[in-house]
């Protein structure tokens, strides 16, 4: 699989995931570049991967985590609910703008690990098994994060 093909097939989803995870489109661009640089450098290893999509999302997640570690000082400003809510609104599209705004705000309010599972499940269309590979935790943990996250979202959307 060529690097252009990968970028065309899951580039949008990766960008969206990284933007929500990092809370900044500019940071997401930097990290996405780094992800593809890594893919090009280790393309020999990539040939033996059974599930390329989950593998790339895992690389993206690891890169995002190390990026956040380097930018620890700015972490608070990036993850403020208001800012994150705006970023999510800008990154998603839906039929109803009001519903989108309300959902983005609710998504910004739930804990980061639960939000990550919901974003990967609904917007990036990964299975629970793939999400567990990406996050390097068991499926049980992923499903419980999903359940708690959905419950919190439901309550926030109903308010």
Q: What residue ranges bind another protein (CB under 8 A)? A: 3-4, 7-8, 11-13, 15-16, 25, 29, 32-33, 36-37, 39-41, 90-96, 99-100, 103, 118, 122-124, 150-151, 153-154, 157-158
Q: How far apart are alpha carbons 132 and 152 in whole angstroms?
A: 21
Q: Which is nearer to another protein, 41 or 129 (CB)?
A: 41
Q: Please, what is the minimum distance in Å from the beta carbon of residue 13 to another protein?
A: 6
Structural contact between residues 85 and 104, judged by C-beta atoms closer than 8 angstroms:
yes
Q: Which is nearer to another protein, 40 or 75 (CB)?
A: 40
Q: Which is nearer to another protein, 82 or 159 (CB)?
A: 159
| Tokens 């919190």 found at | 152
Q: Please, what is the minimum distance in Å from the beta carbon of residue 112 to another protein?
A: 17
Structural contact between residues 117 and 131, judged by C-beta atoms closer than 8 angstroms:
yes
Collapse the DSSP code of 110 into the 3-class scheme (helix H, G, I; strand E, B; otherwise coil) and give the result.
coil
Helices 81-91, 97-109: inter-axial angle, 10-degree rounding: 140
Q: How many other β-carbons are positioned within 10 Å of the β-carbon of residue 57?
A: 25
Q: Please, what is the minimum distance in Å from the beta carbon of residue 73 to another protein?
A: 26
Q: Please, what is the minimum distance in Å from the beta carbon of residue 147 to another protein?
A: 9
Q: Which is nearer to another protein, 41 or 75 (CB)?
A: 41
Structural contact between residues 14 and 56, judged by C-beta atoms closer than 8 angstroms:
yes
Collapse the DSSP code of 158 into the 3-class scheme (helix H, G, I; strand E, B; otherwise coil) and give the result.
helix
Q: Which is nearer to another protein, 50 or 93 (CB)?
A: 93
Q: Please, what is the minimum distance in Å from the beta carbon of residue 100 to another protein?
A: 7
């Amino acid at each position: 699989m060529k690097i252009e093909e990968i970028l065309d097939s899951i580039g949008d989803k990766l960008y969206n995931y990284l933007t929500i995870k990092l809370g900044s489109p500019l940071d997401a661009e930097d990290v996405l570049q780094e992800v593809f640089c890594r893919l090009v450098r280790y393309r020999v290893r990539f040939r033996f991967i059974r599930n390329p999509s989950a593998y790339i999302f895992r690389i993206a997640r690891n890169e995002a985590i190390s990026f956040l570690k380097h930018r620890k000082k700015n972490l608070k400003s990036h993850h403020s609910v208001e800012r994150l809510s705006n970023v999510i609104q800008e990154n998603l599209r839906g039929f109803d703008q009001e519903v989108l705004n309300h959902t983005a705000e609710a998504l910004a309010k739930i804990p980061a690990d639960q939000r990550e599972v919901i974003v990967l499940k609904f917007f990036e269309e990964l299975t629970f098994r793939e999400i567990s590979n990406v996050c390097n935790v068991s499926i049980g943990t992923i499903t419980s994060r999903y359940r708690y996250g959905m419950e919190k979202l439901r309550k926030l959307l109903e308010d």
